[in-house]
Structure 1
Amino acid sequence: MLVTGVALLFDVVRVFLPSLITLYGRAGETDPASMGLYAALWFVLPFAAVPAARLTSPRVVTMAGAVALVAARLGLQAADGGTPQLLLASAGVTAGLGLPLRLRADAAGTWVPAGLIGGLAASSIVHLALDRVDLVWRGGPLPWLAVAALCLAFLWSVRLSPASPAPAPAAVWFAFGPMLMLAGMYCGGPAVLAQDTGQHSAPFTALAVALQVVALCAAVVYAWTTSWGWTAGLFLVAGVAAAETGVQGLPALVTAVALGACAGAAGQQADTTAGGRGGVAVLGGMLVFLAGAFLYYAAFDADLGFPNALVPVAVAVLVAAVAVRAGRRHRTAPVRRAPRRWGSIALSSALLAGFLTWQSPPATRTITGDEFTLVAYNIRMGFGLGGRLDLDRVAAWAAARRPDVVLLSEVDRGWLLNGGHDDLARIARGLGMRYYFAPAADRLWGDALLTNLPVAEIGSTRLGRHGYPTGAQAQSIVLEVGDHEVGIVNTHLQEPRGQAPEVAAIVRRLAANTLPPGVGVAGPRPVIVAGDLNTTPSDPQMRVLEAAGLSDPLRALGDPPTSPADAPVRRIDHVLISDGLTAVAADAPRVPFSDHLPLVVRLRLK
Structure 2
Amino acid sequence: MESVKPFARRFHGISHRAQCQRVWQPQSPVSYGEGTPLRLLSFNVQVGNRTERYHHYLTRCWQHLLPHRHRLDSLQQIAGLLRQYDLVALQEVDGGSLRSGYINQIEYLAQQGAFPYWYQQLNRNMGRFAQHSNGLLSRLPPESLEDHKLPGLIPGRGAIVSRYQIDGSQLLVIMLHLSLSRRSRNQQLSYIRSLMRDATHTVLMGDMNTQVAALLERSPLEGSGLIAAHSGVPTFPSWRPTRALDHILISPGIRVDKVDVLDFPLSDHLPVGLELRLAPPVH
Q: TM-score, normalised by structure 2?
A: 0.75
Pair 1:415–1:197, CA change in 2 (3 A)? farther
SS state at 1:597 partner? coil
> 2:39 maps to what in 1?
373
Q: Is the 8 A contact 1:587 1:600 kept in 2?
A: yes
Q: What fraction of aligned residue pairs are identical, expressed as a percent?
A: 25
Amino acid at match of 2:132: W
Matched, 1:456 2:132: no
User: 1: distance between equivalents of 2:144 and 2:246?
Assistant: 24
Q: Is the 8 A contact 1:453 1:481 kept in 2?
A: no
Q: How far did 1:601 drift?
A: 1.0
Matched, 1:539 2:214: yes
Indicate the RMSD between aligned Cα atoms, in angstroms.
Answer: 2.5
Amino acid at match of 2:174: V
Amino acid at match of 1:367: Y
Q: Is the 8 A contact 2:225 2:252 kept in 1?
A: yes
Q: How far did 1:365 drift?
A: 3.1
Amino acid at match of 1:360: W
Q: Is the 8 A contact 2:21 2:119 kept in 1?
A: no
Matched, 1:485 2:161: no
Q: How far did 1:561 drift?
A: 0.8
Pair 1:391–1:540, CA change in 2 (3 A)? closer
Q: Is the 8 A contact 2:42 2:273 kept in 1?
A: yes
Amino acid at match of 2:122: P
- Show CA shifts across 1:506-529 (max 9, x none): 34433414xxxxxxxxxxx11111
Q: How does 1:108-119 map to 2 (within 5 A)?
A: none
Q: Is the 8 A contact 1:536 1:542 kept in 2?
A: no
Q: How far did 1:413 drift?
A: 1.1
Equivalent in 475, 482, 488 of residue 160 of structure 2: 475
Amino acid at match of 1:371: P
Q: How far did 1:504 drift?
A: 4.1
Q: How far did 1:604 drift?
A: 2.2
User: 2: distance between equivalents of 1:535 and 1:583?
Assistant: 22
Pair 1:541–1:510, CA change in 2 (3 A)? closer
> 2:63 maps to what in 1?
none
Q: How does 1:191-270 map to 2 (within 5 A)?
A: 198=19, 200=21
SS state at 1:455 partner? coil
Equivalent in 178, 195, 217 of residue 509 of structure 1: 195
Matched, 1:393 2:58: no
Pair 1:531–1:474, CA change in 2 (3 A)? same
User: 1: distance between equivalents of 2:146 and 2:132?
Assistant: 16
Matched, 1:382 2:48: yes
Bigger relative contact order, structure 1 or 2 (CA pairs below 8 A, ≥6 apart): 2
Amino acid at match of 1:476: V
Matched, 1:552 2:225: no
Matched, 1:577 2:250: yes
Amino acid at match of 2:51: L
Pair 1:605–1:197, CA change in 2 (3 A)? closer
Q: Is the 8 A contact 2:33 2:167 kept in 1?
A: yes
User: 1: distance between equivalents of 2:227 and 2:182?
Assistant: 17
- Show CA shifts across 1:256-292 (max 9, x none): xxxxxxxxxxxxxxxxxxxxxxxxxxxxxxxxxxxxx
Pair 1:566–1:361, CA change in 2 (3 A)? farther
Equivalent in 381, 388, 408 of residue 90 of structure 2: 408
The structure that is strand-richer by fraction is 2
SS state at 1:584 partner? strand
- How many residues get paired? 236
User: 2: distance between equivalents of 1:492 and 1:482?
Assistant: 29
Q: Is the 8 A contact 1:377 1:409 kept in 2?
A: yes
Pair 1:538–1:421, CA change in 2 (3 A)? same
Q: How does 1:85-100 map to 2 (within 5 A)?
A: none
User: 2: distance between equivalents of 1:394 and 1:407?
Assistant: 13
Matched, 1:360 2:24: yes
SS state at 1:554 partner? coil
User: 2: distance between equivalents of 1:592 and 1:458?
Assistant: 31
Pair 1:563–1:436, CA change in 2 (3 A)? same
SS state at 1:499 partner? helix
Amino acid at match of 2:43: Y
> 1:156 maps to what in 2?
none
SS state at 1:429 partner? helix
Q: How far did 1:361 drift?
A: 5.2
Q: How far did 1:461 drift?
A: 1.2
The structure that is helix-richer by fraction is 1
SS state at 2:47 partner? helix
SS state at 2:143 partner? strand
Amino acid at match of 1:415: S
Pair 1:362–1:384, CA change in 2 (3 A)? farther
Equivalent in 97, 103, 106 of residue 424 of structure 1: 106
User: 1: distance between equivalents of 2:226 and 2:37?
Assistant: 19
Q: Is the 8 A contact 2:152 2:187 kept in 1?
A: no
Amino acid at match of 2:133: G
- Show CA shifts across 1:18-52 (max 9, x none): xxxxxxxxxxxxxxxxxxxxxxxxxxxxxxxxxxx
- Show CA shifts across 1:373-396 (max 9, x none): 110000111222367311111011
User: 2: distance between equivalents of 1:539 and 1:367?
Assistant: 33
Q: Is the 8 A contact 2:120 2:136 kept in 1?
A: yes
Amino acid at match of 1:506: I
Q: 5+ unaligned residues in a row in structure 2: which ranges? A: 1-16, 53-59, 61-69
Q: How far did 1:550 drift?
A: 1.4
- Show CA shifts across 1:530-572 (max 9, x none): 00000112336753223322111311xxx32100011111110
Q: Is the 8 A contact 1:508 1:548 kept in 2?
A: no
Pair 1:540–1:457, CA change in 2 (3 A)? closer
Q: Is the 8 A contact 2:93 2:106 kept in 1?
A: yes
Pair 1:404–1:460, CA change in 2 (3 A)? same
Q: How far did 1:478 drift?
A: 0.6
> 1:92 maps to what in 2?
none
Amino acid at match of 2:144: E
Amino acid at match of 2:136: L
Amino acid at match of 1:585: K
User: 1: distance between equivalents of 2:43 and 2:217?
Assistant: 19
